[in-house]
Chain A
């Protein structure tokens, strides 16, 4: 069964987002299938994060449509997105620094006892299980996450996204704060999640990460989607050209190519 015959997990059609007078995202259309990774690349301010924030409910689109499993979905806030099993690992990690790892993992979805009180022991126990897989050496379950290392904080943010049975996962620069060993760990995790049938949007400006992990690559330039290409059909240089010039490989003139060579 080829990818094209299935119903996409996510379809974003003609999404527009403007901040004040500036168009951050213009007529952007994207899709994502179960069990695939779509890399989203582009220069600073190309609109990658903004487009993904629309999908995760952090910022409403001004216009455009989102379909989940082929059904139109109204995503007005992060709660709506989570109800659709869309989980996000934000570039900023979005952790409450003063609260411990279990508190952050279950933030907004706390487990409670029969009388409605927080069930901290049960949440800590679950956190120990999921963190045991992501970061086996982690022991500081009762420390505010402020006191954790960059890698540990990242692990908490990832744990939060994968714990709640995500079907659609948005990873915004998931390896930016990590060392080589931890980066390998995250890459392995991405492959594992993909095999579990989760659809993943991967934002990264590490072109090697993207080539290594994604099936397809969408390139954004000044708020537009330049093109979405199959990884097998392009070289990293083609993608770099799209990122820098904002044009599909066939549309680039000899002159522009020469300029690119000079810059590269």
Chain B
């Protein structure tokens, strides 16, 4: 094709950024500077708490617990990015998490065994419960999305109504009581020593992640070569590959440094006839907990949808200019409705983690989630003006907020104190971002 050949000189005319400065070097790697900055901020926060606590903060148990606690908010935040990018908001996520968590609890303690004749040993009962929860989330999301997109009631109002009324429904469902006693398999969704993938799989996962990063870099480079576009300098490709691999394997090593609690290990070893306890106790790595695997999966799928699918492209286009999206022939209402269905599904996953960790549900599961989720998305760079925000950013935002909360409580700061810090950090993060954008433009 001659036209491609014609296009090639055009691209070669673009000068690579100057190599002299650190900023220039970073630009050549095409790393997202915002994301890079957030990673740095997260590292600084964690390091600070580690120093303040005299090195105790970095114990694997703490890190794993912190990460697991962040998963619920992080999972929903990936969807909140798309909702806010398309100039809407969802205030109902906390109540919806509460509703679905209560549904899981009632399903497994009452409805499944008694009404549907599925006793505790019924195969894949936890999958059935999870499926019903996801369906319920999608349905509530679709209803809210329909009212917002097709009837045109502002999303703030619709989901504020959802926040109030759905929480009320939770009370009616359980008659005001807490419900406990979930399926043992379902409980594994919440993590813990048994709810983790184990040492070997963790290493395999780290290796797969490493290979995936290298494969992505190579295929991306090949793709750009094929069309004659400019490519990153080779040193930058190698650097990205090495850093990516180190990160994947580092996380795996860290997760495997977290060991089974001695008491539990001894009990399980006795059950499975693994022989006498070795000298120095059992040293069984837990590996990555299931909720983190779930978050990893959700982040990958949501990023893929946001950047590689038409749906994501339409969400961002609508956020950037609703009229342009409409005039381009995009079915904008259907697109908006889908963002809320997605939110419902994500709430169902977060509710599974929350109820599994509790082994049941109380009336206030998911309380205030909407605020943490919105904070995570916004700290992660999502703009209320619409059209701007990334899914990895929101996940990092959730980890930043959770690290602060966990670190402060580790240092003995009480919950009101944590809230003060969280609020100030939220304003600071967005203020800094606004300042940077203004200077940049």
Task: Identify whether the interface residues of B are mostly helix, strand, loop, or mixed.
Answer: helix
Q: Is A121 an interface residue (CB 8 A)?
A: yes
Which chain B positions have C-beta within 8 A of A108?
314, 325, 328-330
Determine whether A150 belongs to the interface, using a CB cutoff of 8 Å to chain B: no
Contact B11 A129 (CB under 8 A): no
Question: When the two chains form the complex, which single residue of A78, A138, A147 contacts B327, counting CB atoms closer than 8 Å?
Answer: A78
- Determine the chain B residues whose CB is within 8 A of the CB of A213 once the complex forms: none
Report the Cα distance A94→B3, complex, angstroms. 28
Is the Cβ of A107 less than 8 Å from the Cβ of B325?
A: yes
Closest A residue to B319 by beta carbon equals A98
* Residue in A99, A107, A110, A129 whose beta carbon sits within 8 Å of that of B3 in the complex: A129
Cβ of B330 and Cβ of A107 under 8 Å apart? yes
Partner of B323, one of A94, A104, A109, A141: A94
Number of interface residues of B (CB under 8 A): 38
* Interface secondary structure of A, over-half rule: loop
B224→A121 contact, CB < 8 A: yes
Residues in A neighbouring B310, C-beta threshold 8 A: 110, 112, 116, 118
Give the docked Cα–Cα distance between A94 and B318 (Å).
Answer: 11
Cα distance A173–B87 in the bound complex, in angstroms? 29
A109 to B314, CA, bound (A): 11
A139 touches B326 (CB 8 A): no
Q: Contact at B316–A129, with CB atoms within 8 Å?
A: no
Query: Closest residue to B440 on the A side, CB-wise?
Result: A147
Supposing A118-B310, A122-B227 touch, asked if A94 and B6 sit within 8 A by C-beta, the answer is: no
| Apart from the given pairs A96-B318, A107-B313, A107-B324, 6 other A-B contacts in the complex at a CB distance below 8 Å | A57-B329, A98-B317, A98-B388, A103-B317, A116-B310, A118-B308
* A–B Cβ pairs within 8 angstroms, 22 of them: A79-B329, A88-B327, A94-B321, A94-B323, A94-B328, A95-B324, A96-B318, A96-B321, A98-B316, A103-B313, A107-B325, A107-B330, A108-B314, A110-B310, A118-B310, A121-B227, A129-B3, A132-B3, A132-B7, A139-B13, A139-B14, A147-B441
Chain A residues close to B by CB (< 8 Å): 56-58, 77-79, 82, 88, 90, 92, 94-99, 103-104, 107-110, 112, 116-118, 121-122, 124-125, 128-129, 132, 136, 138-139, 141, 147
Residues on B facing A (Cβ under 8 Å): 3-4, 6-7, 10-11, 13-14, 223-224, 226-229, 304, 307-310, 313-314, 316-321, 323-330, 387-388, 441
